[in-house]
Every structure is written in structure tokens, then in C-alpha cells.
Structure 1
Amino acid sequence: MLVLSEVFDEFLDLKEINPNPSEQAVKRLIEVVGDLPVDQYTRSHAKAFLASYSEQKTSTRRRRLQCLTSILNFAFWEYDIDKRNPFSRIIIKGEGKDATPREPFSVAELKGLYSASLAYGRLRLILPILGETGCRLSEVLGLMKQDVIHTEDLLVINIRENDCRGLKTDNSKRSLPVVSDSATKALQKLLEANSDSPYLFPRYASCGNLNNTGASATLCQHLRKYYNGKTAHCLRHSFRDRLRDCDVPLEAIDQAGGWSSVGGVGTNYGKGYSLPKLADYLRRIAI
């Protein structure tokens, strides 16, 4: 019987997912109870794994458990193991009660943040891009220079899988016009930087690796200090709120942010909004 690390390699080879969260979970389980044959893991092992994350929020603990649940489900089906998954249906005491609600960024806060970021440079150049496109951190952090396209009328970023990172969902793959002056200036600075790397953020992105965790920690440390506990992901929430307040159709909002549409089957028909039309909607909120 294959041990966990061997099954995980096979799991990653077959699944097109971002490997980082699952890798962290597998590494932690091996550290806590060992790299065992997959049919030898028990409920007590799962609880020991959960206890090792006792300092983390319940949402983080749940995500790590879900990673291992998926891997063992794969193993049990693939190798005809007749056993209940010991990592499934675990109750986490107080789950959700430790969540910290965060307010989205105001327009005034965004203007100040963008101005400071453009003056500072380096990693903080990502902030106006995140705020004005609604992209996830990993989507922009893993952008390659060739993903930034100058057309006759529009500046476009192509969110695609590449050698340093995958995408969260099928809807995440998209082309997005950049109409904000702040985001445009940030992209220009990154493209003009003196680097031989094909990536916009070579310190955090390279072939086969994306240091999303390190970048997130650096950005969030700055944002929490000066913006009342807000995080980089709050920019994505603010983006959606701003579009909603400007009466942008839900389908266009979902398309821009790479969200799964909640509008029913019909919303998946066709190619979606054209880039010029999407650009018109984004201009309503551009900073």
C-alpha cells in the first residue's frame, strides 16, 4: 500500500489545483503522525493533526482538513479501500465564532493606498492592480510579462495557468481590461523594472514556485497597521461592492472577478461580455 506522500504525488499529477494548501496539510500531518500507508490513518491521527493547528482560526483548520479529506477520498476510491475517511465530518469546536468581520476599503482609503504604493514601489505595486481588477493575490502575483497585452484601445491582463501557479476555478481563467490610471501606472512600473525574469514579481514567482504566503504576510502586515486590520483580500470585496453600487450587472461583476455565477444555467451560455463592454463597466469605478 502506498504511503501518503506517494499518493499525494499521484493526486497532484491528476488534479489541476493550486498545490500549496494541500502540500502544507500533508507536510503537517507527516510531521505530526508520520508518512503512513493511507489505509492506516485513523480518527485519532486526524484529531492530532487538528490539534497541531490549535492557534489557527477555525476557518484555517477546516480548510486544512478538507485538503486531507480530498486526498484520502482519492486514495480510497483509486485503490478500492473499504474504509470511512477518518478526516471527514470532524466537528471543530466554536467553528465560525472566531471570524473577524472586516469592512471594505472606502474610496478615500483606496486613493491614499494607491498613491503611497506607487511611490513606494516593489511588492506594494500589486495593491492598485488588485484593487482595480478584483483579482486574487495569486492571480496577479503569478502574472508573466507576456500576460500583459497592449492593444490599440485597451491594456489587458490575461489570467491563465502557468508554470508557477494554477487557478482556483474554471471561471478564474479570463481576460480583463485595465482602465484605472493607478493600476496602469503600477503595471508599467513592473514592466519597466530591470529584470530578466519572465514574471512581474520575480522575488515571489519563479518557474514551479509561487510564494503567495510570503507576499500575503508582507502586504497584510502593512495593511493591518495602517488600515484598521484590513487585508489584501479586502480589496477584492471592495471591488465587488463598488461595482454593485454603480449598478453594474451581476454577470459582468462575476466575469470581471472570476467568480462562479449565481444567475442560473443561462449565464454560462455564450462568451460573456466583450472586453470593450467590460471596460465601460470598470470605468465607472476607476481610480
Structure 2
Amino acid sequence: MENISGKYLFLKEGIFYFNRRVPKDLRSHYSSAKISYSLRTRSRAVASARANRASVKLDEYWYHLRSQDAELPGKHLLRHGLSRPASTNSKVVTPDVLTLSEGVLTYVRLKGNGRPKTFERAAHRSCGYVIDICGDKPLSDYTKADANAFRDALIRRGLTGSSITRIFGTVRAVFNFAVAEEGLSISSPFANVYYDRNAGVAVRSPIPVDAIRAVQQQCYQMDDEMRWLVALVADTGMRLAEAAGLLREDIFQQEDGRWVASITPHPWRSLKTDSSRRVVPLVGSAEWAAQRIHSQEKGSKFAFPRYNTSGKTNSNLASAALNKWLKTYVPKGATMHGFRHSMRDRLRAVECPADVADQIGGWHTDGVGQGYGTGYPEQVLSRWLSAVA
């Protein structure tokens, strides 16, 4: 086979990646102008072979797309502008020929408005795994054997149980939505697939209160940007990415003198869930961090400039650096995320109501009634946070 993949390879940190631009006449079928992903190898020979196979598959698929886009008599009558097999029985209509790739496009088009880019990427990535393993088939053609083969392939890749659960959840959501949208009477074979959901999952330990106090004392002594971030997370339970992506103006003092942080989505840092959008009172070490941030000259709009230098909040960089520093002061295995687990336990220790704790941490609260109103006043949240700080 002719090696056509060389120009589609690039090397990043020792790992080969596939990168190919989508032809201009087919851009309308894609959400991005290029296709880029890791080939999961450091070997050029292996990477070249994998990229070559990917290129051939793309060329075949693009030929298919171009043939579908060709002018055909009665094309305007085709659903979604795509040709579909007609029933040999003129009295029987068989609409259940929507393929999984088309189902993804329907799902993203109708449910993706206002969602972060990660929503679309997750749908394409997870269903792309199914297509790579089982093929891009009509929804009605997928079987339980396909779902089991999909599961086995994910396990062979070494994915943890939690990662497999997340991928299966996305595939089920796309499949069920596409089926409902098309009015098909089929059930998803990707439901009730067994695997060990705890396989490879590391238990994230909460940080003991005495260790939190020791860490906070070190933050007060060292008094730099990295320690301000630790102090802010320690007494709020914020996710590290939430805190690292804050603007200076997101942290402000109210008329009554209380400091708060407004956690909202930004172009450089999205939020994990809708319930993550919230206002968190800052007490204890978090209040100290807010004061130290605003005592500095306004050289940057970001509260933590070192983690916002490339148009995206680099929470991975923050996590690596802070976890390395933190391990001197906390039990083995504890990380920055342990502050979030600890905050939940600290709120339980002062008998804080669960829905108040959910609002403080941005956790989802079940129940229809929880969607009514605007939530607890900040004074109530501040009182409970003060009790643990």
C-alpha cells in the first residue's frame, strides 16, 4: 500500500498524532476544519501504519459523502438530505435506517446549543469509538453482541471503570435521543452492559482537618500566587479548574464587607455542570487569598495569571505543581481534589443541610422542587462556611 500518511503525522512530547484537514467542500459535515487525535504510540512505523489506515478510511468516507451530495432527482424529498434505502414493499415505510454517525449529528445539533465544546467532543469521541469497533451501522442493526464487543475493546485499552461508565453514558444518551427523535421502536443494546465499574479507580481521600490547618499556615508564610490558589480552594471546596480560571473581578467585596467569588463559565474555562454556576462566600483562608489577590498591582485581569497564558486555563499544570508541593503536608495519596472531599465532610460535621452543602460546592441536588427559586441567600452559605473555617 502506498504510504500516504507521512504528511498527516506530527510529534508532540514523544507521541505521534494524526492530523488531516477536512476538504472545503465537506466542511459542512464537520464541526472542525481538521481531524486531529493521538495515535497512542512513540514508534514512527506504527504511527505511519495507523495514520495510513485512517487516511484510507477518510478517503472512502469522503467519497461516500460527495456521492450523497451529488444532485439527484427528488433529492429535496430525502430526510436530512441523505439518500436512504427504500422499502421493497411500497406499503411499508422503514424509517429505522438512521446511522449512528447521523444520530450524533442530530444529538449535537438539537442538544448542543449553549453547551461547552466538551459536550460536542464527548459525543463525537464516544460514538466514534463505537464506529471504530462495530462500524457505522443503522441504529436498528446494533446488537447486544456489538455492545459487549465495545465494552471488551474499552477494557483492553486499559480504561478505568469510571471512564468506561462515562463513555457508555454518552453513547446511550446519543442512541436514545436519536431513536426518540426518529420515532423508532427499538431499545438500546448499550443499556445494562456489565463491567467492573470500580476497576482501576483510585479512591480520592479527603484531607484531615489538622493537615488542612498545617497547609493553610504554610500558605500564609509563603504568600505567593500558588499558595493563594491553595488557600482559596482549601476553605471553599471549589474545583481546582473553577478557582484557577477566575478573573480578579470575579472575586469582590460586597457592601457589607463580605468577600465572595462568582463562579461562572468563561471562554477560557467552562464549568462541569449547570449547578456549578454559583456565588461562594469566602471565609478563612479563602478570604485571606482574596485580599492578597486584590492587594497586587493590576497587571492581569486573571486572579491567577500563571495558569492562564494560552487562551485556556491550564488546570493540569496547576494540579501537577500544587500536588507536588502539597504531598509534604498531607497523607499519602491526598491531592488538591481532597480539599473538595474534605469540605463535604466538614459541612457534615457541623450538621449543614445537604442542599446547602450542594449549593456551596456546586453539586447537583435531585428533586423537582430543587429547580424552583434562586437558592439560599449568601448570608446563609457564609454562616455555614464560617462554622467550618
**2 CA distance for matches of 1:122 and 1:129?**
11
Under a length normalisation based on structure 1, what TM-score does the superposition of the two structures give? 0.75
Change in CA separation of 1:45 and 1:259 when aligned onto 2, cut-off 3 Å: closer
179, 190, 197: which is aligned to 1:95? 197
- In structure 1, runs of 5+ residues without a counterpart are none
Change in CA separation of 1:84 and 1:169 when aligned onto 2, cut-off 3 Å: same
Q: Is the 8 A contact 1:261 1:267 kept in 2?
A: yes
Q: Secondary structure at the match of 1:284?
A: helix
- Pick the structure with greater CA Rg: 2
Shift in Å at residue 100 of structure 1? 3.9
The two structures, once aligned, show a CA RMSD in angstroms of 3.8
* Bigger relative contact order, structure 1 or 2 (CA pairs below 8 A, ≥6 apart): 1
Shift in Å at residue 243 of structure 1? 2.0
Q: How does 1:121-160 map onto structure 2 within 5 Å?
A: 121-123=224-226, 125-152=228-255, 153-160=257-264
Alignment partner, residue 27 of structure 1: 125
Confirm whether residue 173 of structure 1 aligns to residue 277 of structure 2.
yes
**2 CA distance for matches of 1:22 and 1:224?**
36
- In structure 2, runs of 5+ residues without a counterpart are 1-97
Shift in Å at residue 70 of structure 1? 1.8
Alignment partner, residue 72 of structure 1: 175
Change in CA separation of 1:95 and 1:273 when aligned onto 2, cut-off 3 Å: closer
Q: Is the 8 A contact 1:130 1:136 kept in 2?
A: yes
Shift in Å at residue 240 of structure 1? 1.7
Alignment partner, residue 106 of structure 1: 208
Confirm whether residue 236 of structure 1 aligns to residue 236 of structure 2.
no
- Alpha-carbon displacement from aligned partner over 1:152-184 (angstroms, at most 9, x marks no partner): 31111112233234444443322121011x223
Q: Is the 8 A contact 2:323 2:336 kept in 1?
A: yes
Change in CA separation of 1:188 and 1:47 when aligned onto 2, cut-off 3 Å: farther
**2 CA distance for matches of 1:134 and 1:243?**
10
Of 139-148 and 119-128, deviating more is: 119-128
Change in CA separation of 1:76 and 1:149 when aligned onto 2, cut-off 3 Å: same
Q: How does 1:216-235 map onto structure 2 within 5 Å?
A: 216-220=319-323, 223=326, 227-235=331-339
Confirm whether residue 39 of structure 1 aligns to residue 138 of structure 2.
yes
Under a length normalisation based on structure 2, what TM-score does the superposition of the two structures give? 0.58
Change in CA separation of 1:227 and 1:50 when aligned onto 2, cut-off 3 Å: farther
Change in CA separation of 1:281 and 1:95 when aligned onto 2, cut-off 3 Å: closer
Q: Secondary structure at the match of 1:104?
A: coil
- Alpha-carbon displacement from aligned partner over 1:251-274 (angstroms, at most 9, x marks no partner): 432322223446x76666654433
**2 CA distance for matches of 1:44 and 1:221?**
43
Of 137-146 and 189-198, deviating more is: 189-198
Q: Is the 8 A contact 1:204 1:215 kept in 2?
A: no
Alignment partner, residue 259 of structure 1: 363
Q: Secondary structure at the match of 2:388?
A: coil
Alignment partner, residue 62 of structure 1: 165
**1 CA distance for matches of 2:357 and 2:314?**
28
**2 CA distance for matches of 1:217 and 1:22?**
27
Q: Secondary structure at the match of 2:288?
A: helix
- Alpha-carbon displacement from aligned partner over 1:61-106 (angstroms, at most 9, x marks no partner): 21122123223333333345555434333211x3226544444211
Q: Is the 8 A contact 1:147 1:158 kept in 2?
A: yes
How many equivalent residue pairs? 281
**2 CA distance for matches of 1:204 and 1:278?**
29
Shift in Å at residue 131 of structure 1? 2.0
Q: Is the 8 A contact 1:157 1:177 kept in 2?
A: yes
- Alpha-carbon displacement from aligned partner over 1:184-227 (angstroms, at most 9, x marks no partner): 333344453764445645634876x4444554455445556753
**2 CA distance for matches of 1:58 and 1:17?**
26
**1 CA distance for matches of 2:292 and 2:121?**
33
Q: Is the 8 A contact 1:129 1:183 kept in 2?
A: yes
Q: Secondary structure at the match of 1:149?
A: strand
Percent identical residues: 26
Q: Secondary structure at the match of 2:232?
A: helix
Alignment partner, residue 161 of structure 1: 265
